[in-house]
Chains A and B, each alone.
Chain A
Amino acid sequence: DIVMTQSPDSLAVSLGERATINCKSSQSVLYSSNNKNYLAWYQQKPGQPPKLLIYWASTRESGVPDRFSGSGSGTDFTLTISSLQAEDVAVYYCQQHYYTPPAFGQGTKVEIK
């Protein structure tokens, strides 16, 4: 099975500053036939279900603020929050949906410094 590893496990960022979360897949999730990376990012706030933020590694879901961006290809991916807001405090998960079973990273907790 594919293993997704996120780093760091947690980070504290000042309001308005940049937050960067990394995600590494044990195998490439790039599908050569359509040149798409089957990598998604989710945000989960306490007591709530996860919310899809980004799919295809870099495509923002409708309604997601543009301060959230995704990048990377193959096995290495990054979620960036360009200017952290108070409402962004949450746990963030990456997830590959190329292989079965779909696999999530362990999560990265983002807090305000």
Chain B
Amino acid sequence: EVQLVESGGDLVQPGGSLRLSCAASGFTFSSYWMHWVRQAPGKGLVWVSRIDTDGSSTHYADSVKGRFTISRDNAKNTVYLQMNSLRAEDTAVYYCARGGITFDYWGQGTLVTVSS
């Protein structure tokens, strides 16, 4: 059974940093692109970032470019999202998703709240 479990969400002050993790199981992790998608409270889904199978290629939404860094450790079956210079508008539930044909499996999400 495919499972994606996010962790690392927390309350952080504006300008602060946070690292999210997504632990994967039930599939060959190193064969799939992985994505982060976020959802602000009461709002829609917004793609944040993706990483290819070996980490050699990454892409970011313009809203997070230069502040967020996606990475992965295929030995640990884990994808990460390092978030720096956090802003109030980054407040959201962050989901990791497996990149099959499209986002075919999602984790339950982890809540990031940016507030003073």
Contacts and interface: CB of A to CB of B under 8 A. Distances in A.
A38 B101 CA distance: 9
A56 B108 contact: no
Interface stretch (A12-20, A47-55, A79-87): A47-55
A56 B44 CA distance: 21
A38 B102 CA distance: 9
Interface residues of A, number: 23
Interface in B17-55: 35, 44-47, 50
Contacts of B1: none
Interface in A82-106: 93, 95, 97, 100-106
B101 A56 contact: yes
B103 A40 contact: yes
A88 to B, nearest CB: 19
Given A42-B45, A48-B108, A52-B102, 20 more contacts: A40-B102, A49-B95, A49-B106, A49-B107, A50-B106, A51-B106, A52-B103, A55-B102, A93-B44, A93-B45, A95-B103, A97-B101, A100-B50, A101-B47, A101-B59, A101-B61, A102-B47, A102-B50, A104-B44, A104-B45
